[in-house]
Amino acid sequence: MTGDNDLVRDRRVQYETAGLDISDVDHSPVAQWHRWHEEAAEAGLVEPNAMTVSTVDATGMPDGRIVLAREVSESGITFFTNFNSAKSEQINSSGNASAVFGWLALHRQVRVTGSVERISDAESDAYFSSRPRGSQIGAWASPQSEVIESRQTLESLVADVEAQFHDKEVTRPPFWGGWRIIPVRWEFWQGRPSRLHDRIQYVPSEQEWVRQRLAP
Among residues 66 and 203, whose Cβ is nearest to ligand FMN? Answer: 66
Q: Is 85 in the site for ligand FMN (CB under 6 A)?
A: yes
Q: Is 146 in the site for ligand FMN (CB under 6 A)?
A: no
Q: How far is CA 156 from the centre of its chain?
A: 30
Min CB(138)–ligand FMN separation in Å: 10
Q: Is 144 in the site for ligand FMN (CB under 6 A)?
A: yes
Query: Catalytic pick from 12, 111, 118, 195?
Result: 195
Among residues 69 and 200, whose Cβ is nearest to ligand FMN? Answer: 69
The verdict on whether 195 is a catalytic residue reads yes
Binding segment for ligand FMN (CB under 6 A), chosen from 82-90, 92-100, 157-165, 185-193, is 82-90
Min CB(196)–ligand FMN separation in Å: 31
Q: What is the DSSP string of the chain?
A: -HHHHHHHHT------S----GGGS-SSHHHHHHHHHHHHHHTT-SSTTEEEEEEE-TTS-EEEEEEEEEEEETTEEEEEEETTSHHHHHHHHH-EEEEEEEEGGGTEEEEEEEEEEEPPHHHHHHHHHHS-HHHHHHHHH--TTS--S-HHHHHHHHHHHHHHTTTS--PPPTTEEEEEEEEEEEEEEE--GGG--EEEEEEEETTEEEEEEE--
Q: Is 87 in the site for ligand FMN (CB under 6 A)?
A: yes
Among residues 28 and 145, whose Cβ is nearest to ligand FMN? Answer: 145
Contact characters 56-75, ligand FMN, x per CB under 6 A: -------x-xxxx-------
| CA atoms lying within 13 Å on the CB side of residue 18 | 4
Among residues 28 and 52, whose Cβ is nearest to ligand FMN? Answer: 52
Q: Is 47 in the site for ligand FMN (CB under 6 A)?
A: yes
The contact set with ligand FMN (CB under 6 A) reads 47, 50, 63, 65-68, 79-81, 85-87, 144-145
Active site residues: 195
